[in-house]
């Protein structure tokens, strides 16, 4: 089982490395959306400082959702997915491995670049760490929940828009806790409580979501 997981992660990372533009597009989307908000609401520093956590988190959420459609689509199109389903490795483990690889490609770069966006929004330097940590704990949850939606909408017409309708309501707790932890920290209340809750959510999602993804893949490919 472990070699199957390692094999899938290595393969997906290698595929992403060969087509770097895909991962770069999602990251650019994140940066652009976050940069649009000051143009829309005005560049008043106090306002920007207060909306920064929410804006950066919403941008991360949208970017993560957009890249989800690619998670299983290519494998579904060329038949790899059917071979994986027929294979001996447990499907839940494979689903978790694919989701992890997807997060490494689409979610992790956002964690790294978020402090730069925080700089644009004039957030206090002490909050960079909290913001990055909240994204580090939160974006894997987004990938795990989103992967269920991606597996359910596999091969459907208008899959992208449908996926957003399925997945965005389920993202609400992550958004609230992620942005909330940064806001609590900036208000001097300490964001540890919400970060711990976010961690709990990550553990629960990591334990339960792979089953859901596996079941959804079976439903979509039968």
One residue of 165, 196, 203, 207 binding another protein per CB under 8 A:
165
One residue of 184, 188, 192, 210 binding another protein per CB under 8 A:
184
Nearer to another protein, 39 or 187 (CB): 187
- In angstroms, what is the minimal distance from the CB of 169 to another protein? 4
**Listed ranges 45-53, 80-88, 117-125, 153-161: which one lies at the site for another protein (CB under 8 A):** 153-161
**Listed ranges 8-16, 61-69, 81-89, 212-220: which one lies at the site for another protein (CB under 8 A):** 212-220
Nearer to another protein, 84 or 216 (CB): 216
- In angstroms, what is the minimal distance from the CB of 23 to another protein? 27
Terminal Cα distance for the chain, rounded: 23
Residue 54 touching another protein (CB under 8 A): no
Residue 168 touching another protein (CB under 8 A): yes
CA 186 to chain CA centroid, nearest Å: 24
In 3D, which of 102, 87, 90, 92 has the Cα closest to residue 211? 92
Nearer to another protein, 63 or 153 (CB): 153
In 3D, which of 54, 65, 30, 58 has the Cα closest to residue 167? 65
Q: How far apart are CA 48 and CA 118, in angstroms?
A: 10
Nearer to another protein, 57 or 105 (CB): 57
In 3D, which of 11, 216, 199 has the Cα closest to residue 100? 11
39, burial (CB in 10 Å: exposed 0-12, middle 13-18, buried 19+): exposed
């Amino acid at each position: 089982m472990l070699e199957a997981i390692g094999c899938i992660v290595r393969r997906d990372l290698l595929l992403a490395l060969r087509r770097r533009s895909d991962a770069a597009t999602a990251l650019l989307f994140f940066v652009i959306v976050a940069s649009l908000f000051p143009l829309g609401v005005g560049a008043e520093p106090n306002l920007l400082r207060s909306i920064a956590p929410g804006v950066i988190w919403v941008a991360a959420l949208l970017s993560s959702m957009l890249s989800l459609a690619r998670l299983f689509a290519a494998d579904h199109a060329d038949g790899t997915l059917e071979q994986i389903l027929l294979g001996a490795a447990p499907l839940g483990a494979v689903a978790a491995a694919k989701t992890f690889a997807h997060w490494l490609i689409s979610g992790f770069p956002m964690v790294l670049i978020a402090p730069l966006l925080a700089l644009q929004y004039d957030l206090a330097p002490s909050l960079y760490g909290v913001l990055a940590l909240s994204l580090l704990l939160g974006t894997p949850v987004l990938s795990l929940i989103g992967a269920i939606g991606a597996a359910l909408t596999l091969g459907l017409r208008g899959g992208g828009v449908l996926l957003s309708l399925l997945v965005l309501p389920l993202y609400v707790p992550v958004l609230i806790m992620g942005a909330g932890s940064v806001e609590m920290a900036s208000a001097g209340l300490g964001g540890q409580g919400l970060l711990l809750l976010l961690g709990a959510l990550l553990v629960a999602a990591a334990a339960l979501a792979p089953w859901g993804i596996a079941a959804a893949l079976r439903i979509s490919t039968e």
